[in-house]
Chains A and B, each alone.
Chain A
Amino acid sequence: MTIAGMSVVEILEGQQRGEFTPEEVLRAHLDRIEGEDVGAFLRLCPAASPGPGPLQGVPVALGDEVCTEGVETTAGSRILAGFVPPYQATLAAKLQGAGAAVVGKTNLTEFGMSFDMEDALCGRTQNPWRSGTTPGGAAGGAAAAVAAGQAAAAVAADTGGDVRIPASYCGLVGFTPTYGRISRYGVIQHAPSLTQVGLLARKVRDIALLLQVLAGEDPQDHTSLPGTLPDLLAEVGEPQPLRIGIAPGAYKSWAEGEVYQTLERLWQETAAQLGWQLVEVDLPWLDLAQIARRLIAAAESSSTLGRYDGVRYGYRAKDAQDMRELFSRTRAEGFGQVVKGEILLGTYILGDKDHYEAYYLQALRARKLVYKSWQGLWQEVDLLLTPTTPELAGRGKTPPEIFTGPSNLAGLPAISLPCGLVDGLPVGVQLIAPAGEEGRLLRAADALEKMIDFASSRNGGGQGA
């Protein structure tokens, strides 16, 4: 087995057994980056070096929305071209403190504002499973890097499925913790109320390890969660009898046939062995949640991205004659079409009392409704099981975030695991847990992952396996 393509746990165990050194691990991943161009990275971190700690020698990729001190950080936007942060995102500092080697910054759609990786402005990223196919977005580069064995894990922002959708398309584990569990400080965002820092890796246990390092209250993030997590790694591996919610009606109506069938087969085959009791539930609010999430994201974006005005840093329009021209030309020339569209939408819905009432307030009410629906659901089930995406990579007919967005609206932890292949492309299954129940979620995901044994199913399918 080659080093590049190993899971985090395998890398750590291999090092412990003396089979290879942290330097060899880093070299192997850097070689893979050089050898196989999937367009995952926007830039590499030349100073990447492994140190001692619980993640010693683990090569990690960071989405380019994560600020790295001394290394250009653009969030995939021209408007931040050349911006070198004089500060470190809390999560980047924690990774380094734990001995991980940050190998580079990965591609994403501009400010992570589209799930369609084809919208990315800083280069095209391939799905390592099939060249010419999208890896999904917004964190397409991060997923491609891990799937291609160029990093063992990756960290990127998720505001509605940005980590889980590419995880599903690229046959990886994608995870978002409870809102506030991992500090957002230093993560360039567009919609802060929806942003959960997400993790990408090959195995559920890798996620547990990473989360253990990254979780925790941050005095620099007012929304970060106090309290500590239990030893997640020690807890995974003990199967539990759980009530698992499924909504076959909603899944059938939103997901394409083969995706639905893969999921249905999965729960039919595994539930009994896992000691899971399947509970059929109704999710009539999925499209409402999708629209609300979209409006809230646009509204927050129109405000959060106001700071890119050419005055202090980043792109600045040349030869502007006055303040207004400087602002308008900097933003007209610096932002791409998708971002401009979102800012216009957000400005429209916040910029007038009637629009505010009709769209923004309505969206907030819908969000509250969704939140209450989740509360009701947790009375009946311990976890909800859904398809991660309604379609396979590259089909692009249904909003890809239809199943992933609702957990962001309520700040819930969720995880996507690969559960099979259709036409040689991975299909993901998502588990969603109540807020604060990362332990329950990861235990269940770990047990399910063992039942699926995706690694053998993808033999010959993808690269990097």
Chain B
Amino acid sequence: MHDFEAVIGLEIHVELSTASKIFCSCPTTFGAEVNTQCCPVCLGLPGTLPALNRKALEYTVKAGLALNCQIARHTWFDRKNYFYPDLPKAYQVSQQDAPLCVNGYLEIPVGDSGTKKVGINRVHLEEEVGKSLHAGETIIDAVYSLLDYNRAGIPLIEIVTQPDIRSAEEAQTFLESLRNILRYIEISDCKMQEGSLRCDANISLRPKGSTAFGTKTEIKNLNSFRAVRRALEYEIKRQAGLLRDGLPVEPETRHWDEQKGVTVAMRSKEQTSFYRLFADPDLVPIDLSAEWIQQMERELPELPGARRERFIDEYGLPEYDARVLTAAKEMADFFEEVVKGYNDPKTVSNWIMTEILRYVKEQGEEAEGIPLPPASLVELLQLIEGGIINRNQAKEIVLPEMVASGKAPRQIVKEKGLEQISDTSQLEGVVASVLEANPDVVQDYLGGKEKVMGFLVGQVLKETKGKANPRLVNEMIREKLKQ
């Protein structure tokens, strides 16, 4: 019986977050009323011509640089011709023979502390097509179809990996790392649910130890990281089952059915058409100077790997903390902002990794970011340090309220009457009555059993409904029993 190894390559489409479209000045805002963000150019009206958005070129080159790619010095656009109603010109301006970026890699974490390089075959720039909505299963049997061209002409990059990924989990990690890095360099918001990051997966199996490639299938309709992982897990099992039974894997495109949790054959790979590709005569070839490429490199912000190293060096954080904190740009930015106001990096790190991260995770995998401003966490930490509230109150009462209402911690503490009693005159009476009510325990303490102090402090806290400052109570009891 064979033990199989999965060979996975991903094709990822990412919409660039330029203000305007790739060949015209229409805005790219998501969710606008249908067909309100289009013009003669992106609708491909007769006689109109493309004018290249320079930002789209910059963003693509930055993506390539962040993914350790070589940048083409001479490049051009091709026309990919096919008929479809959401494709206004009946060709998509894309790059076939001269992608802007080639031969890169992305380092992803594997296991607890290991890393692995996944090769990037190419990153090229193209235009987004419109959106169709069919009144029926497919466009062919639809009663009618509705078209929205708002999306048509948004700049899109296609990232193609080498077949270096070996498991469904690795595929998900790769996508998470990729999204993180693209967000770091601020070229896309990478939202899978809005379609600004989309992924197709190619997968084949081979006996472990083999270097040959098996027959691959392509999986489409992967709309979340979870879908990518589940679909690949399913497909690995499906292909392994076929191979074990001595049956062939058909080279085909398969559709992921999220509801049923299965992949379904869509069309045979052999039927894919030749797109009559040729260089687009409406766009002049582009020559990039070494200086310009260097300029793009200089404009890149600090990338996750470098930032992780810096967090270890500069803040003395453990490797694990540094990795978690830099896994999302928003989180790393948040950490650094908080440390500016509360200079105890490890405490800040602990709070973010345990408490804050819990709220982030509750928002799902497409977290919009940290649900509170850095200044609020600074204030919360100062309240604890100043003895105004204790850690438990901070975690269980104040923080949830901060996230829910957006109110400042000091205000919440006030409204909920949480201030610790740190005034000895207010505690004097309670301490006296607790000592009086527990003569045996007092005797034990005086006899040398220091441990019982905890019980006495606890009794005072109980009497004050947890508001007494425990450190102060401790001191007061000690003082009292000295006499």
Contact B40 A86 (CB under 8 A): yes
Spot the interface stretch: A94-102, A309-317, A450-458: A309-317
Contacts of B452 in A (CB 8 A): none
- The reply on A360 being an interface residue by CB < 8 A is yes
Q: How far is the CB of B388 from chain A (nearest CB, A)?
A: 61
Contact A309 B90 (CB under 8 A): yes
Spot the interface stretch: B111-119, B120-128, B277-285: B277-285
- The reply on B88 being an interface residue by CB < 8 A is yes
- Select one of A186, A322, A347 contacting B140, CB under 8 A: A322
Our count of residue pairs bridging A and B at CB distance below 8 angstroms stands at 108
Contacts of B278 in A (CB 8 A): 299-300, 303, 350, 360
Contact A222 B47 (CB under 8 A): no
CA distance in complex: A322, B138 (Å): 11
Contacts of B41 in A (CB 8 A): 220
Contact B281 A300 (CB under 8 A): yes
- Select one of B140, B147, B281 contacting A193, CB under 8 A: B281
Contacts of B90 in A (CB 8 A): 303, 306-307, 309
Contact A311 B46 (CB under 8 A): no
CB contacts under 8 Å to A, within B136-166, are 139-142, 145, 147
Contacts of B48 in A (CB 8 A): 87, 185-186, 220
CA distance in complex: A308, B47 (Å): 12
CA distance in complex: A222, B48 (Å): 11
Nearest neighbor of B145 in chain A, beta-carbon distance: A323
Contacts of B298 in A (CB 8 A): none
Question: Given A188-B46, A189-B47, A311-B147, are A352 and B274 neighbors across the interface (CB < 8 Å)?
Answer: yes
CA distance in complex: A191, B50 (Å): 15
Query: CB-CB contacts of A184-224 with B at 8 A, as 1s and 0s?
Result: 11111101110000000000000000000000000111110
Nearest neighbor of B89 in chain A, beta-carbon distance: A307
Contact B47 A312 (CB under 8 A): no
Q: How far is the CB of A42 from chain B (nearest CB, A)?
A: 15
- The reply on A353 being an interface residue by CB < 8 A is yes
Question: Given A312-B43, A327-B83, are A222 and B276 neighbors across the interface (CB < 8 Å)?
Answer: no
CA distance in complex: A222, B85 (Å): 26
Query: CB-CB contacts of B283-299 with A at 8 A, as 1s and 0s?
Result: 11000000000000000
- Select one of B49, B81, B281 contacting A220, CB under 8 A: B49
- The reply on B79 being an interface residue by CB < 8 A is yes
Contact B276 A347 (CB under 8 A): yes
Nearest neighbor of A86 in chain B, beta-carbon distance: B40
- Select one of B46, B274, B281, B284 contacting A73, CB under 8 A: B46
- The reply on A275 being an interface residue by CB < 8 A is no
CA distance in complex: A323, B79 (Å): 22
Query: CB-CB contacts of A317-329 with B at 8 A, as 1s and 0s?
Result: 0000011100100
Nearest neighbor of A300 in chain B, beta-carbon distance: B281
- Select one of A306, A322, A352 contacting B81, CB under 8 A: A306
Nearest neighbor of B80 in chain A, beta-carbon distance: A303
- The reply on B110 being an interface residue by CB < 8 A is no
Contacts of B139 in A (CB 8 A): 322-323
Contacts of A80 in B (CB 8 A): 46
CA distance in complex: A188, B89 (Å): 13
CA distance in complex: A85, B45 (Å): 8
Contact B282 A222 (CB under 8 A): yes
Q: How far is the CB of A68 from chain B (nearest CB, A)?
A: 10
Contacts of A274 in B (CB 8 A): none
CA distance in complex: A255, B145 (Å): 56
- The reply on A45 being an interface residue by CB < 8 A is no
- The reply on B91 being an interface residue by CB < 8 A is yes
Contacts of B384 in A (CB 8 A): none
- The reply on B264 being an interface residue by CB < 8 A is no
CA distance in complex: A85, B51 (Å): 19
Question: Given A192-B282, A322-B140, A324-B140, are A221 and B276 neighbors across the interface (CB < 8 Å)?
Answer: no
Contact B45 A223 (CB under 8 A): no
Nearest neighbor of A192 in chain B, beta-carbon distance: B281
Question: Given A83-B46, A186-B47, A353-B274, are A306 and B281 neighbors across the interface (CB < 8 Å)?
Answer: no
Q: How far is the CB of B155 from chain A (nearest CB, A)?
A: 15
Contact A222 B283 (CB under 8 A): yes
- The reply on A241 being an interface residue by CB < 8 A is no
CA distance in complex: A300, B139 (Å): 28
CA distance in complex: A309, B44 (Å): 11
- The reply on B135 being an interface residue by CB < 8 A is no
- The reply on A150 being an interface residue by CB < 8 A is no
CA distance in complex: A184, B278 (Å): 20
Q: How far is the CB of B181 from chain A (nearest CB, A)?
A: 30
Q: Which of A86, A312, A323 has the most CB of B within 10 A?
A: A323
Nearest neighbor of A346 in chain B, beta-carbon distance: B276
- The reply on B432 being an interface residue by CB < 8 A is no
- The reply on B34 being an interface residue by CB < 8 A is no
- The reply on B52 being an interface residue by CB < 8 A is yes
Contact B282 A185 (CB under 8 A): no
Nearest neighbor of A183 in chain B, beta-carbon distance: B49
Q: How far is the CB of B336 from chain A (nearest CB, A)?
A: 41
CA distance in complex: A117, B459 (Å): 106
- The reply on A82 being an interface residue by CB < 8 A is no
CA distance in complex: A351, B82 (Å): 11
Contact B274 A187 (CB under 8 A): no
Contact B47 A223 (CB under 8 A): no
Query: CB-CB contacts of B255-269 with A at 8 A, as 1s and 0s?
Result: 000000000000000
CA distance in complex: A223, B47 (Å): 14
CA distance in complex: A66, B46 (Å): 10
Contacts of A327 in B (CB 8 A): 83
CA distance in complex: A313, B46 (Å): 10
Q: Which of A85, A222, A353 has the most CB of B within 10 A?
A: A222
Contacts of A65 in B (CB 8 A): 47
- Select one of A66, A303, A324 contacting B276, CB under 8 A: A303
Query: CB-CB contacts of B83-116 with A at 8 A, as 1s and 0s?
Result: 1110011110000000000000000000000000
Contact B147 A223 (CB under 8 A): no
Q: How far is the CB of B237 from chain A (nearest CB, A)?
A: 36
Contacts beyond the supplied A188-B47, A222-B283, A350-B278: 19 A-B pairs with Cβ under 8 Å? A73-B46, A85-B45, A89-B47, A184-B47, A184-B49, A188-B46, A189-B47, A193-B281, A219-B51, A220-B48, A222-B51, A223-B281, A303-B79, A303-B91, A306-B81, A312-B45, A312-B88, A313-B46, A323-B145
A residues apposed to B, CB below 8 Å: 65-67, 73, 75, 80, 83, 85-87, 89, 184-189, 191-193, 219-223, 299-300, 302-303, 306-309, 311-313, 322-324, 327, 347, 350-353, 360
Can you report 23 residue pairs joining A to B where beta carbons are below 8 Å apart?
A66-B47, A67-B47, A73-B47, A85-B46, A85-B47, A86-B45, A184-B47, A184-B49, A188-B46, A188-B47, A193-B281, A220-B48, A222-B52, A222-B282, A222-B283, A223-B282, A300-B281, A303-B276, A307-B88, A311-B85, A312-B43, A322-B142, A350-B278
